[in-house]
């Protein structure tokens, strides 16, 4: 075994380990599919528990704030004391959360299940993003896209699974999906062994390794991080309007059935997955700053049109918005990791956590707007959020040594 571990030659540290990236992406798919089952069953929970839009938004807030507050803290801790076994252990929180949700017939249990799901994500995302960086070699954008597209594919499959299974067999069928967490746990156990014996060495600074060193004043680095967080705000508040309320919007405005509305949501989330695939490699090839510019600001014409479109055009517009917006996140995460080298866990946790938090806050605020002014008002307000993409002009250009 020791001979095998020492057999990796030094140049292999700059090679891309696609097997590890594929494994962590598959687990990301399972994790985010399980997480997305919660918003996918909102319409049935709203009816069964007689919830208001504000209460639905509060469920999302509890789930996403649990993840957002813990993620940067876990990332910061793992930067100082890497913990490979946190990956398989974190899946047990998601398993427990779905088991609670499968028997949640009170609002209190619903909130408890949502918080456990959030804790599962808070452990998974910073550490798995670190593994993607370890396995990337020189292709950081590609690795981050492959990792994130697993999550986006899982988010897209969640509503489809809810439409085909949960809505048909009832809330208790969530316990069946919880068993997928055990499969993820087994895969992540093997990933954690690679992490321990090979991955950590690939992140260690080595003389002549060709690793990027960013030469920027601290003020510009902090300013760049602040701009990136503002772009995450615009992206994820808008995304919250679709992931949490798009089905309600379609049912209210066009009178479609719940099943049809879920299929529209699936099409949007599938487009998000495709956009994520493109964002990282395009950033590697043309520069991440250009991808960030296009992906945030480029969605603006489509978001402005969406509130005025008929049912026929609503689908294509939602797909276009998903494709363009999703290409931003891989580029943003890698750009931020390059700005703050040596703090991969903290940066990954900060950006994944902030995206969860903004999605939760956005869902809660937009739920209040929907209760007071109607669901259509939500999309009239959110249409202007991508204009925040103009702030990308303030992003610094890292000088690389």
Quick check: 313 pLDDT over 90? yes
Predicted local distance difference test score (pLDDT) of residue 37: 82
Quick check: 281 pLDDT over 80? no
**103-155 pLDDT, tens digit each:** 888 888 999 999 998 888 888 888 888 888 888 877 777 888 888 878 877 87
Is residue 87 a part of any domain in this protein?
Answer: yes
Predicted local distance difference test score (pLDDT) of residue 315: 92
The 3-state DSSP composition of the chain as helix, strand, coil percent (nearest 5) reads 85, 0, 15
Is residue 9 a part of any domain in this protein?
Answer: no
Is residue 207 a part of any domain in this protein?
Answer: no
Quick check: 8 pLDDT over 70? no
Range 161-183 average pLDDT: 81
Quick check: 314 pLDDT over 90? yes
Q: Which residue range(s) make up the domain with 30? A: 14-202+214-394
Predicted local distance difference test score (pLDDT) of residue 399: 52
| DSSP per position, 158-200 | HHHHIIIIIHHH-GGGHHHHHTHHHHHHHHHHHHHHHIIIIIH
Count of domains in the chain? Answer: 1
Quick check: 7 pLDDT over 60? no
CB 3 within 8 A of CB 129: no
Band (pLDDT 50/70/90 cuts) for residue 293 is confident
Average pLDDT, the chain: 82
Range 306-333 average pLDDT: 90
Is residue 286 a part of any domain in this protein?
Answer: yes
Choose from 52-56, 110-114, 194-198 the range with maximum mean pLDDT.
110-114
Quick check: 30 pLDDT over 60? yes
Q: Is 310 exposed, middle or buried (0-12, 13-18, 19+ CB in 10 A)?
A: exposed
Quick check: 2 pLDDT over 60? no
Is residue 361 a part of any domain in this protein?
Answer: yes
3-class secondary structure per residue, 217-241: CHHHHHHHHHHHHHHHHHHHHHHHH
CATH number at residue 281: 1.20.1250.20
CB burial string 220-252: b at 16+ within 10 A, e below: bbebbbebbbbbbbbbbbbbbbbbbbbbbbbbe
**236-255 pLDDT, tens digit each:** 899 888 888 898 999 999 99
Is residue 31 a part of any domain in this protein?
Answer: yes
Quick check: 207 pLDDT over 50? no
What span, in angstroms and rounded, lies between the C-alpha atoms of 351 and 335?
11
Q: Please identify which residue in the block is written with the tokens 């602040």.
A: 226
CB 348 within 8 A of CB 129: yes
Where would I find the H helices in 255-327? 258-286, 288-297, 300-305, 311-326
Q: Which residue has the higher pLDDT, 279 or 320?
A: 320
Range 19-47 average pLDDT: 85
Full-model pTM: 0.69
Predicted local distance difference test score (pLDDT) of residue 307: 93
Is residue 258 a part of any domain in this protein?
Answer: yes
Predicted local distance difference test score (pLDDT) of residue 362: 85
Band (pLDDT 50/70/90 cuts) for residue 285 is confident
Quick check: 358 pLDDT over 50? yes
Band (pLDDT 50/70/90 cuts) for residue 3 is very low
Is residue 336 a part of any domain in this protein?
Answer: yes
């Amino acid at each position: 075994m020791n001979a095998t571990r020492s057999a990796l030659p030094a140049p292999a540290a700059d090679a891309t380990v696609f097997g590890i990236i594929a494994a962590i992406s598959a687990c990301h798919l399972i994790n985010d599919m399980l997480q997305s089952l919660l918003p996918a069953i909102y319409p049935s929970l709203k009816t069964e528990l007689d919830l208001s839009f504000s209460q639905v938004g509060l469920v999302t807030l509890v789930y996403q704030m649990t993840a957002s507050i813990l993620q940067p803290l876990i990332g910061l801790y793992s930067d100082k004391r890497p913990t490979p076994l946190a990956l398989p252990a974190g899946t047990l929180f998601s398993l427990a959360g779905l088991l609670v949700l499968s028997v949640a017939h009170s609002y209190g249990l619903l909130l408890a299940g949502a918080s456990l799901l959030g804790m599962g994500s808070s452990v998974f995302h910073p550490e798995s993003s670190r593994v993607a960086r370890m396995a990337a070699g020189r292709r950081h954008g590609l690795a981050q896209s492959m990792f994130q597209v697993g999550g986006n594919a899982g988010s897209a499959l969640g509503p489809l699974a809810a439409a085909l299974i949960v809505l048909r067999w009832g809330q208790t069928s969530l316990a069946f999906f919880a068993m997928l967490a055990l499969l993820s746990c087994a895969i992540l156990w093997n990933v954690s062994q690679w992490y321990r014996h090979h991955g950590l060495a690939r992140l260690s600074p080595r003389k002549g390794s060709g690793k990027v060193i960013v030469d920027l004043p601290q003020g510009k680095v902090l300013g760049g991080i602040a701009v990136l967080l503002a772009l995450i705000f615009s992206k994820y508040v808008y995304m919250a309007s679709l992931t949490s309320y798009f089905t309600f919007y379609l049912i209210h405005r066009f009178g479609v059935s719940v099943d049809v509305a879920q299929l529209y949501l699936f099409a949007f989330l599938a487009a998000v997955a495709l956009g994520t695939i493109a964002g990282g490699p395009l950033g590697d090839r043309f520069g991440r700053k250009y991808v960030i510019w296009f992906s945030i600001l480029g969605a603006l014409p489509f978001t402005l049109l969406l509130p005025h479109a008929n049912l026929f055009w609503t689908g294509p517009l939602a797909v276009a918005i998903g494709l363009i917006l999703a290409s931003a996140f891989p580029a943003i995460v890698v750009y931020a990791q390059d700005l703050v080298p040596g703090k991969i866990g903290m940066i990954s946790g900060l950006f994944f956590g902030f995206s969860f938090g903004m999605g939760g806050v956005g869902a809660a605020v937009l739920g209040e707007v929907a209760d007071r002014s109607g669901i259509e008002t939500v999309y009239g307000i959110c249409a202007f959020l991508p204009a925040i993409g103009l702030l990308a002009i303030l992003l610094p250009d890292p000088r690389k040594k």
